[in-house]
Every structure is written in C-alpha cells, then in structure tokens.
Amino acid sequence: MAENSYQIDLVVTWDEVHRDTKDLVRRLMALGPMKGIVAITRGGLVPATILARELELRYVDTLCIATYDEKSIGDINLIKAPEEACADKGEGWLLVDDLVDTGATMREARKLLPNAHVATVYAKPGGLEFVDTYVHDVAQNVWVFFPWDTSPQYVSPMVRDGNA
C-alpha cells in the first residue's frame, strides 16, 4: 500500500455532516425524481441515509469498494456492485460518497455507473473531475476524520501535561 503524506487533520462532527448533507440535498432537489441512491461504502452510507430521507427516496443500494486503510491508499477492491443501477448504467441514480479524495474510488464507480449523478459532501481537487455536485472544498493535503471513524475521549487539561 502506498502511504500518502497528509499534513493537516480536519475533524468533522456529526452536526457538521448532518448540516452539510442537508445543504447537499438543497443542491440536488432541482434534479427531479431519481430512481434511487447508490451509497459508496462505507463513507457514503451516512450521507445516503440523510439524502434518502430528505429526498423521500426509498430505494438505497450500495457499491462496495475498498481503497483506504486508515491513512493509506491501496489497490482498488470491488466487493459488491449494485445490480439494478448497473443494469441502467446509473441513469436516473444518485451515486453518493462522503468525500472524493484522489478520485480513484470514484473513477471505478463511474466505470460501473457512467450515467449516475455523483454527489459528495466534501471534495478535494484530485477528485473533482468525477463529481457533479458537492458542498465543501477540502485541500488535497488534509486528512478528514469523520465521526464514524473517531471516538470522543477525555483529554487532560493542558497545564497538567506541561503543554501550556
């Protein structure tokens, strides 16, 4: 696996993901009715849930692709494709992920669903060419920590640790 050099960490809270995904909903409402949503697992599952509720879509499927392991990017591993959406080549489907980074995952997803409308909550320059609609720009050297990947924990006051 190749190791990327991220210089900045960005921690996103549940409230921020919820707010930003609702902003994504507002941008997508003008597209009109969709057949359903395809969430790229695992990161796209939470945004897809919010989108499904707010857009009143009941058909939600998954495209299971693995490329990340913590902060390492490796080979693309297609685990499961959404059969019905693939049969339509994505026409009328919304393809959702939390973040597009280098574009490697979305490039593979676009091969399967070339006509889907691709939406992400966050987007880095390296993957922008694969996204139709997104909410926030993120610099390429930023590693985004989502709330489903982190856990709140107690931290001692700085003065106790000599970090004042």
CA dihedral 6, 9, 15, 21 (to 10 degrees): -20
Tokens of 63: 């495209």
Active site residue 98: yes
Specify the DSSP class assigned to residue 44.
T
Asked if residues 126 and 150 have their Cβ atoms less than 8 Å apart, the reply is: no
User: Is 101 a known active-site residue?
Assistant: yes
20, 23, 75, 97: which is the annotated catalytic residue?
97
Strand 133-137 vs strand 36-41: parallel, antiparallel, or unpaired?
unpaired
Tell me which of 9, 61, 75, 101 is the catalytic residue. Answer: 101
Distance CA 164, CA 63 (A): 47
Which candidate in 98, 132, 149, 161 is catalytic? Answer: 98
161 is catalytic: no
Residues with catalytic annotation?
97-98, 101
